[in-house]
Amino acid sequence: MAEKGRGRVTGSFGVPGRGMSGSMGLGRFGSTGGAMGLGKSGSAGRGKPVVARSAGTRRFVRLLPVLLIGGGLLFDSLAPPNFTAVPLFVAAPLIAAPFFSLASTVRTGVAAVLSVIAMRLSDGTSTQVVPVIEMITVLTAAALALVINGVVRRSNEQLASARVIAETAMRAVLPTPAERIGGLQVAARYEAAQADEFVGGDLFAVADTPYGVRLVVGDVRGKGLDAVEAVAVIIGAFREAAEQERSLEGVAQRLERALAREGTRRYGLDAMEGFITAVLAEIPPGSATLRLVNRGHPEPILLHADGALEVLAPSVPAMPLGMDLGVWPDRSDECEMPAGSTLLAFTDGLSEARDANGAFYDPAARLRGRIFPGPEELLSALTDDVRLHTGGRSTDDMALLAVSRPAEGQPPRRTTVKIVGRGDDTVRNR
């Protein structure tokens, strides 16, 4: 077990210890120079302009057909007779088609056609060949816009249907764990990427076993229903092994064998999505010990009651599950998990989330010095802050699992969380 000093934690993890960098998180983040900064500096501050730009773009697109029709009327009234504004009237319904509802697209097309007819009636050229061709051209564009609108709407419905099916299947194999398991407080969160129609293979599970509370957080390579099927294999194998295996290393080997069996059944591991990164943890009953086995997964974080944290890097790096590159014994690492501390495990959808400048989200830097009432508040703060960091444009699914060892007589705590989606620096205090 690691021995904890004020400066460093020595032992199997060998990571920086409880140095009090950052504030206690009772004021605005921006004023402390710490984790989830709401001030002008830091990558989180760049999230707000990204959101504002996105909203401004949407408003501009909605106004563009109106601007085109109005600009066409103005151009036609001011330009010489040899110049025509018909291309602007043609463009208006075509631009509205993929973004507007059917009713709005119809109104835009009717407005464009009536505008051209009104212009030609006003200048007395409505019976001439060229003006008639112009009116037919705009009418054809309006009809084509209705076709495009219908195609886009059907595609969106099919996309939404595929996503709902995949998400429903994922929820079936990833039920939300109870809020309290084995005397520990538990919270889990699955956030599907907004930029993809298929959910990925992120997974988590918690089990109360004779050997203590055991948990797994993992990430299957790939997306869609194949990834969901691979998740089901891992979750099923974990629940069985967690009850039967005496050691955490034994649980990891059982998962390895389950993948090998499934790969044989499906004629190769490539059909099983190839490999799975995973971190397994064990918290024995009545003990402050935390054991971890990390198989190529992002390092979990241990947050202490005073705001300090430890990044729990493995003492010996290991390959992901299912790599089929040979067999070697797993090695678990141990550290102390005192009362009031919280273990946070996550997938790379969190640590590889990027802002508008391509900077990765750093959960350790964002959380250092922060304190939270419980694991649910921690995950809410994290998901809000990641959306702020990315501007709401996540590209990978994200699974989060937080397990807290409650402390008796712990002083009341509150968290300061950015309210995502507001145009000001409103802060929520809990």
Please state at what angle helix 44-78 crosses helix 86-96, rounded to 10 degrees: 140
Quick one: DSSP state of residue 169?
A: H
Nearest to 199 by CA among 226, 232, 238: 226
pLDDT of residue 337: 95
Nearest to 297 by CA among 322, 334, 272, 268: 322
Which stretches of the chain drop beneath a pLDDT of 50? Answer: 1-51, 197, 268-273, 411-430
pLDDT of residue 278: 94
Is the CB of residue 374 less than 8 Å from the CB of residue 187? yes
Q: Which residue has the tokens 């003492």?
A: 315
pLDDT of residue 228: 76
pLDDT of residue 390: 87
pLDDT of residue 48: 45
pLDDT above 90 coverage of the chain, percent = 40
Tell me the Cα Rg of the chain. Answer: 28
Q: Report the C-alpha gap between 380 and 7 in whole angstroms.
A: 30
| 4 Cβ neighbours under 8 A, 6+ residues apart | 17, 18, 336
CA distance readout (Å), 316 to 29, 52, 297, 331 = 35, 45, 13, 8
